[in-house]
Amino acid sequence: MQDAVVEGKTVLVRVDYNVPLADGDVADDARIKASLPTLNDLIDRGAKLTLLTHLGRPEGRIISELRVDPVGERLQAFLDRPVQKLDDCIGEEIKKAITKGVPGDLFLLENLRFHPEETANDAKFARSLASLGDLYVNDAFATLHRGHASTLGVTDYLPAYAGKLVQNELAALSPLVEEPVRPYIAIVGGKKAKSKLGALRDLLDQVDVIMIGGGVAFTFLRAKGHSVGDSIVDESLLEEIKPLIQAAYEKDVLILLPRDVVIAEEVSATAETATCRADKIPAGWIGLDIGPETIGTFREQIDAAKTIVWAGPMGAFELKPFSRGTVAIAEALADSEAYTVVGGGETGEAVAKLGWADRMSYVSTGGGACLALLRGKSLPALDALRG
């Protein structure tokens, strides 16, 4: 974007303001803050800005709780200038409002995903979005792996550039893709194995050690024939996991699963808890965090590593009884002298809540996009910017 002539132009900026909300207000504004360098640069150079974002998963329906008004209010406070929030993202009335603006004005359009055409990358919808600007800047790193109308389709109709956040993300993550200093370890957690299995398969060609926690671990434990009680398990993946474990052995990649876990009979902050072996969880009990022995084992690997990527919490960290594993891993990374990259999403939120974000080498704004890049996968919206 530094190469683009923007003075007197209307710049269509794809930002990622898919932020958590609580009681109608923004609960975590890290992604809004991350966009400020791009916005301020464009404003300082005499541009008029039209911002595009999605929020949540309305799946093509208008859901009042997912309107972007709270985002606009928080952005306005950060920029200390008016943010004009419009009630849709396409249409003649929207175009007229933007046309009346002057350099320095900033418009925030309504949630893109209120229109099903957005995720379908509908050409007509993309063309309508493109008609609202003279050029396009993508600063939504977390969406680069999505081929949507606002990330991919719009580049067919406007000159397209990378924003500062996208540039920073690529610069921070490139050492892990090109020549990572070894030992290189990946810590993978989160709730669902399905969302991480492809990443785990591809990471076998990148890393030396993979440590698995969170809900993902229980599908792996079940695939190895262990009893996991009522823990989260994706039965459809069991036969896929077995060859993955064999491939890791053949590639000399160490996969570490929990040895012990914190369990409860329900997912509740007031539930009675216990600690047991990870391969012998009683019927009726749910694994909800890694245990102290596992924390110690994982910490040993972290202390010896030179490069670390972490994607996914170790348990139900939002509930205090099951937060210890995630806190311990975050603390170990904060203390580490390795190059540490934290994926976005829940992992980034956890690190931010603990106040340790500045003790990591880099905290990415995009979980899925971060993992896709590290896996060596093509990111459609990034490829479009590269032409």
180-374 has the same fold as 10-167: yes
pLDDT in tens, 16-44: 999 989 999 998 898 999 999 999 999 99
pLDDT in tens, 44-75: 999 999 999 999 999 999 999 999 999 999 99
d(CA 259, CA 290): 8
| CATH code for the part of the protein at 180-374 | 3.40.50.1260
CATH class of 10-167: alpha beta
d(CA 39, CA 46): 11
pLDDT in tens, 240-249: 999 999 999 9
pLDDT in tens, 126-155: 999 999 999 999 999 999 999 999 999 999
d(CA 286, CA 284): 7
- Write the burial class of residue 275 (CB in 10 Å: 0-12 exposed, 13-18 middle, 19+ buried): middle
Average pLDDT over residues 97-114: 97
Q: How far from chain centre, in Å, is Cα 290?
A: 22
Spatial contact of 307 and 247, defined as CB atoms under 8 Å apart: no
**pLDDT in the model for residue 212:** 97
Active site residues: 31, 192, 345, 368
Better pLDDT: 364 or 345: 364
- Chain-wide mean pLDDT for the chain? 94
pLDDT in tens, 160-199: 999 999 999 999 998 888 889 999 999 999 988 888 888 8
Better pLDDT: 44 or 365: 44
Above pLDDT 90, what percent of the chain? Answer: 84
Cis check: omega of the bond before 183, within 30 degrees of 0: yes
**pLDDT in the model for residue 136:** 98
What one-character-per-residue DSSP string does 207-262 give? -SEEEE-HHHHHHHHHHTT-EETT----GGGHHHHHHHHHHHHHTT-EEE--SEEE
d(CA 229, CA 283): 4
Helix (H) or strand (E) holding 167: helix 164-177
Spatial contact of 210 and 188, defined as CB atoms under 8 Å apart: yes
Average pLDDT over residues 96-111: 97
Alpha helices per DSSP H over 49-192 = 69-79, 92-99, 116-119, 123-130, 164-177
pLDDT in tens, 284-322: 999 999 999 999 999 999 999 999 999 999 999 999 999
In 3D space, the residue among 277, 272, 263, 259 whose CA is nearest the CA of residue 232 turns out to be 263
**pLDDT in the model for residue 141:** 94
Q: Show me where the domains of the chain are located.
A: 10-167, 180-374
In 3D space, the residue among 87, 23, 16 whose CA is nearest the CA of residue 56 turns out to be 16
